[in-house]
Amino acid sequence: MAGYNTIRGLRVKYLSADPANVEAGQVWYNSTTGLLKVNAQGTNNTWASGGNYPTVVSNIQSAGTQTAGLAFGGVTQNSPQIVTTLTSSYNGTSWTGLSAPSNLGTAIQWGGGCGTQTAALCFSGNGPGQPASGSVISQAWNGSAWTGTPNMNTARMADAGCGTSTAALCAGGYNPPGSPASVNATEEYNGSSWSSVNNINTTRGYVVGNGLQTAAVIYGGYDWGGPGGRNNTEEYDGTNWTSVNNMPAAVYGHGGSGEQTAVIMWSSPYCALYDGTNWTNTTSMTSARGSTSKQIGSGNNGVALGGDNSGLVNSTEEYEKIGLGDRTITTS
């Protein structure tokens, strides 16, 4: 049967309620609401305010989705710096700070995070009282408590982390005072140990990664031993890294979520979408900020939590890429 978008000359249905199982291109009149409607592709990708975090925070690790998120650690005060162990959950509307024993075993900022609201992993990063150097610490979340897991092989912070709690990926990072300070090492976690695998092609820290251990993408970052800000993008197939199309502009201290073929990246300079081939600019955040959360979201829908904009913030913004949906037809 032809879809509604290929059918011509049929009468518009007169219905008392919006129909279920609507097809693309279907048009109907809702006699209850008095609205003429169509199922069509939306045009305005939007940022909307979400619930505030229990405290101001930046450099925070995170995992989960837009309606079932998890955030842990981060910085709650810049001077003197306070790195927290706080863990909080998000239901799509509000954040709930979880009480002990739900706190991280070791306070961490600028680390990697991945997984779900009930099964997450926190790894690498920088702890309280440390100079600007990375760590090998790894911690697992089971939905109620954190436990230590075997250490990583390469110390780092500000790396790209993605995957699941039992199939995680960590790439790149920053580990001063080493020379060079930027890291190109990649590691995989299988639920019991970390293993070193093939290096990324472009050395950098303050990089973001999304996807799975066998299908990941990393983008942006900063290379202290090279040109500084990076706009490079690389994809990982579980064995090798491949350089693909660059971002519109170099960016670091950014955030992002999604999969290898559907990413929303956010930063103070600009926001962009990746479809597995190309990057395109999209709507900017309402409140410019850097050093936000990463990893909360799926596909092109993401959550930017906290960050720093001449001071730490506790606000949340949610991005929605408008796809097929019921739209009201109006005249102007």
State whether residue 4 is helix, strand or coil. Answer: helix
Total-model pTM? 0.85
What residues contact residue 214 under an 8 Å CB cut-off, 6+ apart? 167, 236, 237, 238
- The pLDDT, as a whole number, for residue 38 is 78
Instruction: For 175-227, write each residue's pLDDT tens digit.
Output: 987 767 899 999 999 999 999 999 999 999 999 999 999 999 999 999 988 88
Q: What domains can be seen in the chain, in order of their start residue?
A: 4-41 (no CATH), 46-320 (2.120.10.80)
Structure token digits, residue 239: 């064995």
Q: Which amino acid is at 148?
A: G
4 pLDDT more than 60: no
Confidence of residue 307 (pLDDT cuts 50, 70, 90): very high
State the Cα–Cα distance between residues 121 and 146, nearest whole angstrom: 9
- The pLDDT, as a whole number, for residue 199 is 98
State the Cα–Cα distance between residues 151 and 149, nearest whole angstrom: 6
89 pLDDT more than 60: yes
Compute CA distances 193 → 107, 120, 165, 189, 282, whole Å: 21, 15, 12, 6, 39
- The pLDDT, as a whole number, for residue 1 is 45
Angle subtended at Cα 279 by Cα 278 and Cα 285, rounded to the nearest 5 degrees:
160
